[in-house]
Amino acid sequence: MKLSKEYYLHQDVVFLAKDLLGKVLCTQINQELTVGIIVETEAYFGVEDKASHAFGGRRSQRTKVMYAEGGVSYVYLIYGLHSLFNIVVSAKDVPNAVLIRAVEPIEGLDVIERRRNMKITNKAISSGPGSAAKALGINRDVNGVQLTGDAVWLEDRGIYFTDEQIGVASRVGIAYAQEHALLPLRFFVKGNKYVSKPNLP
């Protein structure tokens, strides 16, 4: 069943980043349905987080959607090449977000193969935030859309993990964030082959 608007309003972004493991990310883009199980996430805790685009309350054309009420997408372009998909959560004007770093494809496998130009047996097909977004057809065209709509949404299909099955590590690629760089805000499913960097702290 589709996750409700209320789900995304939780104030604790760290709780949500962990709880989102096992939730199912669905997209229907150009009449093509593709679905993947979320297996790796990172939490970004709003204006206090030196790694967040919203650090210090920064607002720009790019980041304004982070300040919306939870339950919308935040998609931005990194290195001029890759679209990264985030779920905006918590109350309006609280720019918390969860980055989706990897998914396990379960539906629309042929579509995913075509988008990625590689075989479904290649684990790189949806491992890493740029790859996961591309596999599901996510780009800036769906920036700011409601996740309760019919283009990009999440479902609970009864997949849950115990604490023993969940790994915790520091976030990737944010060395510039000083004392926030090593915080344990990356969550992943232990042993899942799509997890992008399972062995980093």
Partner DNA sequence: AAACGGATTGGCT
Partner DNA sequence: GCCAATCCGTTTC
Binding site for DNA (CB under 7 A): 42, 44, 51-54, 58, 60-63, 74, 77-82, 84, 86, 97, 99, 116-117, 124, 127-132, 134, 171-174, 176, 196
Minimum CB separation of residue 1 from DNA in Å reads 26
Residue (39 or 162) nearer to DNA, CB: 39
CB closer to DNA, 23 vs 171: 171
H, E, C per residue of 62-85: CCHHHHCCCCEEEEEEECCCEEEE
Nearer to DNA, 10 or 116 (CB): 116
Closest to DNA by CB, 44 or 153: 44
- Closest approach of Cβ 40 to DNA, in Å? 10
> In this complex, which beta carbon is closest to DNA, that of residue 23 or of residue 83?
83
| Least CB distance to DNA at residue 99 (A) | 3
Structure tokens at 42: 């990172």
143 DSSP 8-state letter:
T
The C-alpha atoms of residue 44 and residue 137 are separated, in whole angstroms, by: 23
Q: Report the nearest approach of DNA to the CB of residue 195 (Å).
A: 12
**Cβ of residue 24: shortest distance to DNA, in angstroms?**
20
Beta bridge partner(s), residue 78: 82
Asked if residue 106 lies in contact with residue 117, where contact means CB atoms within 8 angstroms, the answer is: no
Is the separation of the CB atoms in 169 and 201 below 8 Å?
yes
Do the Cβ atoms of 27 and 151 come closer than 8 Å?
Answer: yes
Please state the φ and ψ torsions of residue 37, each to the nearest 5 degrees: -85, 130
Structure tokens given for 20:
């989102």
